Structure 1
């Protein structure tokens, strides 16, 4: 499996519009963070988790010229705002794009992208095939690839993370049940959100995320959904355990 981090930033991205902090003014490319998304190449398939507002820019940069499916974690706009741009794949591949999400998330997409789901469509709009994720515990398939859903809470909003083989991806969470933690255990790579140092109502802090990763002890842990409040990449990474790194846009890692 090859994993490409298309975006590792929080909902505003980094730099933040109008901000002059040291992170937003940094010239380190690792401090330039688009909205969070990840691309999986596994078993000959190309799958993206979350298509946020930067989707077009991300897939052009990563040269994702074929896409077999999109899987959503939840309905917030920083994770769904690029859905319209899947139409380029419709034209190229001459087929509907499979979209996997919980029924609640699909309903929100139908509301926000009413023209995609209309009975009488405007020519050229995106074409999607909806695949509801009906269970938060049962394995389902995305383009023939098994996905294990992992329930998390984003404040009071239920969201899904996913385990694919030895790779586990959790974003936009501030609570994982003991049952969810056990589903993650044994992963070779675990990706977890870490917004900032200070307590937050709906995201893990750096310290909380590191504590979870230290308990699970993957070979490699990566932190994502990072805000400018966390600090500069170079400075923060120097404080982390050796097997835990900050993810950054464009990072490519391999996993069984």
Structure 2
């Protein structure tokens, strides 16, 4: 399984438009030593260190098929920048715009793009993720929507996939367990979530070769959130920012809980202080993994 991190940022990405914070400025600076560090991680950062909106691209080594997890609004830029072919299929984890609004790119690019999503009705929206995609993109006859039941395995692009419910209130959201049957390689993706993930989901996300764990901001940022933080550790450090995203501390604890061979923190915002925003375990766009 070949994994390319097309987008590793939150809803505004890093650098953020019109922002001159130290983190965004460092990401833009062509003379920052960060460029050399990224090169050591196999990332070509000559155009800037970037965290565009979340998306992950997978290639099945056994079949040559490809799968896209979440369809970022930065779709065009990501595919041109990283030079990967268009995917054979896609999965959407939830209906927030930064995870599915790139579907408009299916117009004139695809003959057919099968999109897989959960069939569970969300009490907030009154429709499932699959129904939400179908209603938003009914004008795209190149997109076919395929509802799937959470926890139940299904096959797509030669992978065995499970949609794994997580906690992203008030809306339903799903992580993923993706296995390449030929090699047994496993990728776990938490999706957007707080730290308090159901035990059954934690079990399915555990023991992967690589885990992509959501971590939005540093724990100290919780003091500025109207709802503060939650799910504190033994030292009182909040693992959840507000109610629906993990802090970096929470992401690292969650990674330790599910014990993958390797992990990266994703969906990270530019609010993290510049001296901490580019730690080795926080992903940047363009990182690639062979599992």
Q: Same fold (TM over 0.5)?
A: yes
State the number of aligned residues: 235
1:8-53: per-residue Cα shift (whole Å, max 9, x none)?
1100111222221101111244742110000000131111001121
Distance, in Å, in 2 between the alignment partners of 1:249 and 1:157 is 27
Does the CA contact (< 8 Å) of 1:155 and 1:203 recur in 2? no
Does the CA contact (< 8 Å) of 2:209 and 2:261 recur in 1? yes
Does the CA contact (< 8 Å) of 2:90 and 2:114 recur in 1? yes
Matches within 5 A, 1:194-213: 194-197=215-218, 198=221, 199-213=241-255
Question: Which secondary structure state, in structure 1, belongs to the residue aligned with residue 107 of structure 2?
Answer: helix
Distance, in Å, in 1 between the alignment partners of 2:144 and 2:58 is 20
Distance, in Å, in 1 between the alignment partners of 2:9 and 2:273 is 12
Deviates more, 1:167-176 or 1:80-89: 80-89
Is residue 191 from structure 1 mapped to residue 212 from structure 2 by the alignment?
yes
Deviates more, 1:103-112 or 1:70-79: 103-112
1:136-194: per-residue Cα shift (whole Å, max 9, x none)?
11101113321022110112322111111221012211131111111112111111110
Partner of 2:125: none
Structure 1 unaligned regions, length at least 5: 117-125
Does the CA contact (< 8 Å) of 1:23 and 1:31 recur in 2? no
Across the aligned residues of Structure 1 and Structure 2, the Cα RMSD in angstroms comes to 1.8
Aligned-pair CA distance for 1:229: 1.2
Does the CA contact (< 8 Å) of 1:24 and 1:31 recur in 2? no
Partner of 1:98: 114
Aligned-pair CA distance for 1:228: 0.6
Is residue 112 from structure 1 mapped to residue 141 from structure 2 by the alignment?
no
Aligned-pair CA distance for 1:109: 2.1
Which of structure 1's runs of 4+ aligned residues deviate more than 3 A?
A: 28-31, 234-238
Does the CA contact (< 8 Å) of 2:174 and 2:192 recur in 1? no
Is residue 235 from structure 1 mapped to residue 276 from structure 2 by the alignment?
yes
Partner of 1:161: 175
Question: Which secondary structure state, in structure 2, belongs to the residue aligned with residue 226 of structure 1?
Answer: coil
Does the CA contact (< 8 Å) of 1:6 and 1:249 recur in 2? yes
Distance, in Å, in 2 between the alignment partners of 1:87 and 1:46 is 19
Normalising by structure 1, we get a TM-score of 0.85
Does the CA contact (< 8 Å) of 2:168 and 2:192 recur in 1? yes
Structure 1 pair 235–155 and aligned structure 2 pair: CA distance change class (3 A): same
Does the CA contact (< 8 Å) of 1:193 and 1:203 recur in 2? yes
